[in-house]
Structure formats: structure tokens, C-alpha cells
Amino acid sequence: MNSRERILTTLNHEEPDKVPIDSWMAPEAAEVILEGLNIDNSKDAFAFSKVMGNDLLYSTIGFCDGFSSILKEERKIGENLYQDDFKIKWRKKPFKYGSYCEFVEHPLSDMNAYDKYVWPDPYEIYKDGFKLYDDLIAADSKEYAILGGCACTMFEACWYLRGLENFLTDLYLNKDFAIELLDRTMEISLKISKKLVSQGVDIIWWGDDVANERGPYINPKLFKELIKPRYAKMVDEVKKINKNIKIAFHCDGKIDWVIEDFIDVGFDILNPLQPDVNDIAEIKKKYGKDLVFWGNVDTRRVMNKGTFKDVAEEVRHVIEVLSPGGGHILCTNHTVQASERAVDNIVAYYWAAEKYRNYPINVAKLKETKKLDVYFT
């Protein structure tokens, strides 16, 4: 099977030849591997993913693009200070092994700024991103599954513009304003998504962290009232263009309270199923016929701090629990941050994946592998 066939088989909840693979890593870690493997991505933005053996190819367009602002010199407005297309300001925070970005200013933190706020035209500001997808689909859609990324879709987009505390308060005290903001952000993300679907992507990827590590960010009744119907509308709209389009959704945190709502609106793929706060075995057992899981090798405890053996064991465990029967795309559960262990553990991740991901998954043999402690054979 090629990568595209492997992903499409998995999305049908069938077993391909191998568990499909993907990974997320900080640019600083990726750069070390690029140099070490002598990968030239100057002519092919996806050369790195191809060399690493990933089965999904994708980029991101939309409110989530702000996170990459600190990588774009044209967005620099001051010392380590950047501004994205929505006038959200970000600060680059260097640390020992790399850098990360944080919010500095939300353009609608003052509600009085809303009437004068100019919403950018997504077709204009993302024309280069759409061109990237045109080229990607033309060059690689026969060999790879193509995912159209439009994460930070609505709930997160609102608080990026307004500020988290402000927007959570709005949901109760300024409800009409909150609804207006949800509708405007949904409209932008929907325009982007419909364009990507019309271009020919296989999967649309949305995402909002409506949960934290203890549970919901907002009252589940408010989620059902205000957010769930808008996701359902988005699903309906993109399926009018392609009834076979698959919907992937990203939500960090403890999500057992909302999974049935995700299934109800029509999401097909759940990412990342954060392993340190969710019972992944129970969720696979309960919802594995309805959802494909895209994850979920632990990044915080294992990928960023663990040993080679820790990573190999984590990959083995995730495959043992989530991969039998299909319906699983192996991936880190979030970004492997730049750290002392990052590059070594990324190598360990791919080594272990190659060792354990062949179908049929022999769970008994995997358990025996753990028992005999034979990671380096």
C-alpha cells in the first residue's frame, strides 16, 4: 500500500498493511533532523514529512496560522514582537533549546473596538496557502492523503481576538456579542474549509480546545447551545461540496464529556485523545466504531523527557491499545518541544513505530515484547 491507500483504509475502520504514521515537532528539532539527514525542502515544502515516512501531508490556514507568526520576518513589528493577519500580537520567547510564542495583545479586548474592527478577507490573506494546496494536490494526491488544516476554528478564534477571560465572561454576560463573534469566526473558517474541500483535500481538520485537563472550559449546556450547532452547520456545508469528505477534530484535555457530541455533529477523526487525562483503552472500546483516533504518544512526560526505552514502550503501548481493527493514525499527542531529549526521542519514536506497526497487530506478542524487554533487537 502507498500512504494514501493506508490512510483511506484506516478511515474505513479496516486494517491496512501498517498503522499510518504522523508526528508534530518544534521547528528547532525539525531543523536538526533536516540537517542531519541532508533533506532539501527548498523546492518541496513537504520533503521532510516524506523522508520521515509520514502518511499525511498538510499545512494550516486560518486563525491557527498566528502561532507561526514568530517564524515570519514580514510580521515582525518590534523586538521579538509579531502581529498576524487578524491583528493579534504575539511575542517570541526564547529559551535554552529554542523558542515558543505567547499572546501579547488581543485586538478586541475592548468591546468598543469591535465596530471599527476590519475583518480580513480569507481568500486574500491566504492566497499563498491555497496555492500551496493546489500544488500539493497536483503533485502528491495519488501517493499521499491530503489534509486541509483549519484549526483554532471558532471557540479558540474568539478568545484569541477577545482574550480568554473576556470571552468566557461574554458567554454569560454579553451573550449576543459572544454569538456575533462565534458567527464571524465560523464564517471565516467555513470559507477556508469550503475552498480546501473544493480544491480536493481528503480530510478537513478543525480544532478548538473546549476542554482543559480537568474537564470542560465552559458549561456543557452552553457548548450544546452555542457551539455544537455551529459545528454541525460547518459539517453540512462542506459535505454539500463533497459528501465523502472526512472531518478531523482536535481538542486537547479531558474530553469524555463531549465525545458523543462530536460524533453527533459528524466528526470522523479525533485528535489527539490526550493520554495523561483520558482512558484511551476505554474510549477506544466505547467509540472505536464511530471515530478514528489520530494520536496519541505522550509528549509532555515521554517524548520531551523520557529515555529511548520510554519512548519505545509508549509507542508499543499506544499501538497495542488503539491500532487493532484499524481506525488509528499513530502520532505524537502534541508538539515535541525543543529539549535536550527531543531529537533522540523523535528518532526513537520512528524506530519503534517501524518495529511495531505492521498489521496484523499481535497484541499477545506486543505484551511479550514488553515482558522480555527486547527493544533493541
- 334: CB partners within 8 A, 6+ apart: 24, 252, 272, 274, 299, 300
Once rounded to an integer, what is the mean pLDDT over residues 19-48?
Answer: 96
pLDDT tens digit sequence for 233-279? 999 999 999 999 999 999 999 999 999 999 999 999 999 999 999 99
Nearest C-alpha neighbor of 52 from the set 286, 331, 247: 331
- Contact between 55 and 147 (Cβ < 8 Å): no
For domain 3-74+119-372, give its CATH number from 3.20.20.210, 3.40.50.2300, 3.40.50.150, 3.40.50.1820.
3.20.20.210
Place of cell 493506508: 6
Each domain of the chain, given as residue ranges in start order, spans 3-74+119-372
pTM for this one? Answer: 0.96
The DSSP output letter for 314 is H
Distance CA 34, CA 11 (A): 30
pLDDT above 60 for 377: no
List of E strands, 106-239:
145-149, 203-207
pLDDT tens digit sequence for 151-190? 999 999 999 999 999 999 999 999 999 999 999 999 999 9
Distance CA 200, CA 93 (A): 37
The DSSP output letter for 306 is -
Cell of 211: 476542554
Cell of 221: 449546556
Cell of 275: 493520554
pLDDT tier at 370, thresholds 50, 70, 90: low
Cell of 25: 515537532
Q: What is the mean pLDDT of the chain?
A: 95
- Residue 146 pairs in a beta bridge with 57
